[in-house]
Structure 1
């Protein structure tokens, strides 16, 4: 049996908004939107991978908050796990540095205005409930 490889995705939250990143590669994913992140390297925790990937891809310093329940299959042997995360105080504003050509902060009202990759949709639905609750409490 092939060992699964975890890919971490970040539901990066800031002020009641969720960050979406538009893929620039590979060609079959280009133009679709995702939660940024990447593969967990051997010996690395998923949380450490999340922080590293967001630093590399977006140029930001973040901290994981909690794991979103569930995991979603990608192409074998990869599986997606998602964490909510927040920008650290003093972090730069996210920029599309690697693998993406655009970023967009989405509010509860605009969350479904982008063409999400299918594997990210269940996690986005989970996070949407949190955004709606935060928006209602504002």
Structure 2
């Protein structure tokens, strides 16, 4: 089973959502940006690399988003593992994989059309963000 990592990037209590441009069957749907873990990479390193490649920014990877359903199944071959992250440097910049980003309040996460695996993780994402804001 291959692992796909995604970043729940949080800033000022808002969460970054990115709209995919490709592949065609995923275009227009929203995701927590990230990508596949390469051989020999640990998960935080893979996630930081993917965010540099996709959004041209650096992140600090914090804790993993976990609940009874994680990791979330993407397909028969892939699972999604999410990590809370913070922008370390530059503002995100759109690249080839995304045509729009939005900063959403945790209560607004349902306003965009998420990829199915990301949608399954929304309740756990909300809990992780709430826990961070109370500590």
TM-score when scaled to structure 2?
A: 0.89
- 1:123, distance to aligned residue in structure 2 (A): 2.2
Deviation at 1:63, TM superposition (A): 1.1
Give the drift of 1:75. Answer: 2.1
- 8 Å Cα contact 1:16-1:134 kept in structure 2: no
Q: Displacement of 1:121 after TM fit?
A: 1.6
1:85-131 deviation per Cα after TM superposition (whole angstroms, max 9, x unaligned): 1111xx11111113111100001232211011110023222121244
Aligned to 1:74: 74
RMSD: 1.5
Once the two structures are superposed, what CA deviation does each residue of 1:30-79 show, in whole Å capped at 9, x if it has no partner?
Answer: 00100000000001001100000001100111011011111011223111
- Which of 1 and 2 has greater Rg? 1
Uncovered stretches (5+) of structure 2, i.e. residues with no partner: none
Q: Within 5 A, what are the aligned runs for 1:97-116?
A: 97-116=95-114
List gaps (5 residues or longer) in structure 1. none
Residues 6 and 40 in structure 1, CA contact (< 8 A), matched pair in contact too: yes
Paired residues for 1:34-113 under 5 Å: 34-69=31-66, 70-88=70-88, 91-113=89-111
- Pick one of 119, 122, 135 that aligns with 2:120: 122
Match of 2:23 among 23, 26, 29: 26
Secondary structure at the aligned position of 1:18 is classed as strand
**Matched positions, count:** 131
CA distance in 2, matches of 1:96, 1:5: 26
